[in-house]
Amino acid sequence: MASPLGTGKSPATSGTGPGATVSTGRLNWTADGQLLPQIRTEPIHWPDDLDWHRGVYKDAKFRWQAIDALRTATDFTHGHHDFRTVGDLRRLAGYRLDLASYTTTCQRAFGRAIKQVRSGLKLPDWDGVGQLLRMDPIECAQSSFFATWADPRDPSRLTNPQVERVTLMCGRFAFASPLLLAWELKQVWRMCQAAEGILEDTLVDLVVELRGTVREDDLVRSSGMMTSAGLWDRVDTQRRDHGEAGDPRREPHQVF
């Protein structure tokens, strides 16, 4: 029996460095040598501007639904959606890694923006940033770390086409700021994470389906794992978090 690449049932919607330098008047923030959207308000106004932004756009301008996450996943499988063999498993593991790399780039871009937020608002820790963005402060700290240690010689570590589109969009806002940019980049990042989840569900489904008909060593190697224990722990984690095919937890949705 085939191991399909998830199902998306909802219609798509149309919403598609370490430090900073500040100049007087209008602020031009740079991070890792890259210019962020021009800022037209002082940092003290950023939280109120975010509240206004969320009210106007009903939380975010970049909106996505389950079908959008599915399309993102399918982009990385090059249109393939039916996986049956151990060879398919090996290719699927590669697609999953490619998408994970893309998602991490979105996280680094988000991390770069929140470093500007924390600096501009003079926040002593990540708790304040987490409250503004409705996120776990630990996740904010991790994102900042990834942004800080991205290879400055490789621009692709901090941007990709999706990040560039959202950065351009945010630069056109009347009250552009790193906080608004971070908020919208968070939406992009979450969509890519959801797409990752779809590929992970599909990969684990195929591993379980092939178990008993394919040598365990082949399953381990083809899934990109090092040991059998690691593979079955991965299966257990996925089943605990997302369940089997048909589990409602598998259908992603945007959470603000």
pLDDT level of residue 154 (50, 70, 90 thresholds)? confident
H and E: helices and strands count for the chain: 9, 4
The pTM assigned to this predicted structure is 0.83
Distance of CA 52 to the CA centre of its chain: 24
Tokens of 8: 């998306």
CB–CB of 70/197 below 8 Å?
no
DSSP H or E run through 151: none
CB–CB of 141/126 below 8 Å?
yes
pLDDT digits (tens, 9 = 90+) for 78-122: 999 999 999 999 999 999 999 999 999 999 999 999 999 999 999
pLDDT at residue number 29:
42
Q: How far apart are CA 64 and CA 254, in angstroms?
A: 6
The dihedrals phi and psi of 43, each to the nearest 5 degrees, come to -55, -35
Q: How far apart are CA 30 and CA 22, in angstroms?
A: 8
pLDDT above 70 covers a percentage of the chain that reads: 84
How does 101-140 read in b/e, with b if 16+ C-beta sit within 10 Å?
ebbbbbbbbbbbbbbbbbbbbebeebebbbebbebeeebb
DSSP string, 44-96: GGHHHHHHHHHHHTTT-SS---HHHHHHHHHHHTTT--EE-SHHHHHHHHHHH
Domain-wise residue ranges, the chain? 9-193
Average pLDDT, the chain: 87
Q: How far apart are CA 185 and CA 40, in angstroms?
A: 19
The dihedrals phi and psi of 30, each to the nearest 5 degrees, come to -120, 145
Looking at the DSSP bridge assignments, the partners of residue 151 are none
Q: Is the pLDDT of residue 9 over 50?
A: no
pLDDT at residue number 25:
33
pLDDT at residue number 38:
55
The dihedrals phi and psi of 177, each to the nearest 5 degrees, come to -160, 160
Q: Is the pLDDT of residue 1 over 50?
A: no
Among 199, 192, 115, smallest CA distance to 160 is for: 192
